[in-house]
Amino acid sequence: MPDELDAVRTFRSDIPGPSTDAWARARAAVAEVSGNAAHRAGHEQRTRRRWPLAIGAVGAASGTAALVSVLVLGGSQAAFAGWSATPSYATAEQTAATQSSCQVDLPTLLAQGRWTQVAIDARGPYSMAVFESGTTLASCLTGPSFTTVQAESLTSDSAMVSASGGPAPGAAASPVGTLSSGGDIEQLLVSHFSEAGNGPYTLAEGRIEPAVSAVTLVLGEGRDVTATTGSGWVVAWWPGGDDVTAAEITSASVTTTVPMEHVPGPTPPSPGRRFPGTGTAVPAGGPPGGA
Amino acid sequence: MARRIVDPRAFERCFEEHFPAVHRLIARRVGTALADDLAAETFATAFRRRHEFDPRAGSLRAWLFGIASNLLRNHWRAEQHQLEVDSRLAADVELRQDPGLSDEQLSASLVAPQVAGALADLVAEQREVLLLHAWGELSNEEISCALGIPLGTVRSRLSRARATLRDRLGGFDFDLWVLADEQNPRRRGDTHA
């Protein structure tokens, strides 16, 4: 028998669902707080377009990483203005622009075949893309006026993470990387670079268990940086040279905080294992020194 | 299984799944124009605070409705004004004779002015709980989580709200509503003068 609650339930029950404009406005609001102006503009023009996945599928790579910092383009600006500790949604336009900018430079970095983008981490006006080509990985940071590319040449006959080349003209510093692991983060390679116009920055990229749904990296100075995760990858970067001390890892709805422990090295190579036992990277042509 | 929404893609799924319900709840309370802004603000707030959502503490739907409820408190006057306007509208007599009208539309039209008046009479806290229950379809436990108030408080506010409604809708014959529905749907919801 109907009662007063039924009467309330029928009241204003003919209110329609949200219009396309309402969807677009909400998407724009979320994009704004995530610091992604390009995403916001895109949604103002095209309503109800799905956010693209941030991460693509990737095959396992084995061997050791050799870091190369080779290319810095464009002018200077304030130190990574607009950078956000929380990644935003990479729009299709942002992804395409990043691919276009980076893939122009990738062939000049290493003589490799086709590069496939496996991850993209968007923060404000910046995009960090990770590419794979065979056993080689490359990271490409693009900003409003610059593009820098780093490559990790993966070889099976080396046990060291080392830089195999010096910075190209315009690059401000040599890269240094450390490998660490913790919890469901199998391997996390943290590398320090510098961009000519913005100063030092740090890149963290690595492999995670497929069940991991979120990772927040805790930096040395207590700052938190939310990483982009998916398809077995974790990617994040931040201005400055802070290292990762711990990670908050969410898996199967459970979040745990684990310390990130450096993998001791150098050790003998371990065939079939990604980034086999390594220590601090030693850039070619100079000792480790950070950014 | 409820999941955290820290990851941007998880938040996207949250948005796609829950935006219609959040928007509709807000729209029923303060109208669609204001709902567009408040629903957007709800999800912008949710994105900023997504680290705070704990699926073990309550449902995502309840958490989002809680954020929306906080925002709606700043628009209490707009909601009150709209309810008072609706309460003064006479049920459309011609509407009852429209054969193209669904039963739901007819019922809503007939009872709307009285319900609007009854809701306008409720204190804000009671109305908030009642509408989360009736429109948001939240359980008492979920309302407790959404509003951050004890379960006993939810129960007492809901009980008092329903009592007020029963009192204000005293002239509405729910028995006749049922009887009319079975015998003559066009008379359903007629009120005792």
ipTM of the complex: 0.81
- For the stretch A104-116, pLDDT in tens is 666 555 455 666 7
Q: What is the mean pLDDT of residues A162-173?
A: 35
Average pLDDT over chain A reads 64
Q: What is the mean pLDDT of residues A243-270?
A: 69
CB contact under 8 A, B19 and A54: no
CA distance A230 to chain B (A): 9
- For the stretch B85-129, pLDDT in tens is 888 876 554 555 566 666 656 666 677 888 899 999 999 999 999
Domain boundaries, chain A: 18-51, 67-262
B10/A contact by beta carbon, under 8 A: yes
The CA distance from A244 to A177, in Å, is 12
CA distance A224 to chain B (A): 12
pLDDT above 90 as % of chain A: 1
Contacts of B130 in chain A (CB under 8 A): 8
Query: CB–CB of A180/A106 below 8 Å?
Result: no
Q: What is the mean pLDDT of residues B168-178?
A: 64
SS3 category, A206: strand
SS3 category, A126: strand
Residue in chain A nearest B54 by alpha carbon: A253
CB contact under 8 A, B36 and A54: no
Residue in chain B nearest A214 by alpha carbon: B7
Q: Which among B1, B15, B175 is the nearest to A30, CB-wise?
A: B15
- For the stretch A200-252, pLDDT in tens is 888 888 888 888 888 889 887 678 898 988 778 889 999 888 888 888 888 77
* pLDDT in the model for residue A275: 30
A264 class by beta-carbon count within 10 Å (0-12 exposed, 13-18 middle, 19+ buried): exposed
Domain boundaries, chain B: 8-187
Average pLDDT over chain B reads 81
> Who has greater pLDDT, A187 or A29?
A29
CA distance B132 to chain A (A): 11
The CA distance from B128 to B124, in Å, is 6
- For the stretch B63-87, pLDDT in tens is 999 999 999 988 888 899 889 888 8
Residues 6+ apart with CB under 8 A from B46: B5, B11, B14, B53, B63, B64, B67
Most trustworthy range by pLDDT among A77-86, A254-263, B34-43: B34-43
Q: What is the mean pLDDT of residues A146-175?
A: 44
* pLDDT in the model for residue B41: 92
Tell which B residues from 66 to 105 touch A, by Cβ distance under 8 Å.
104-105
Phi, psi of A62 (to 5 degrees): -125, 155
Among B1, B3, B4, B6, pick the best mutation site for testing chain A contact (most A Cβ within 10 A): B6
Q: Which among B2, B4, B28 is the nearest to A15, CB-wise?
A: B28
CA distance B134 to chain A (A): 6
Beta-carbon neighbour count of residue B34 at 10 Å?
18
Among B1, B9, B138, B162, pick the best mutation site for testing chain A contact (most A Cβ within 10 A): B9
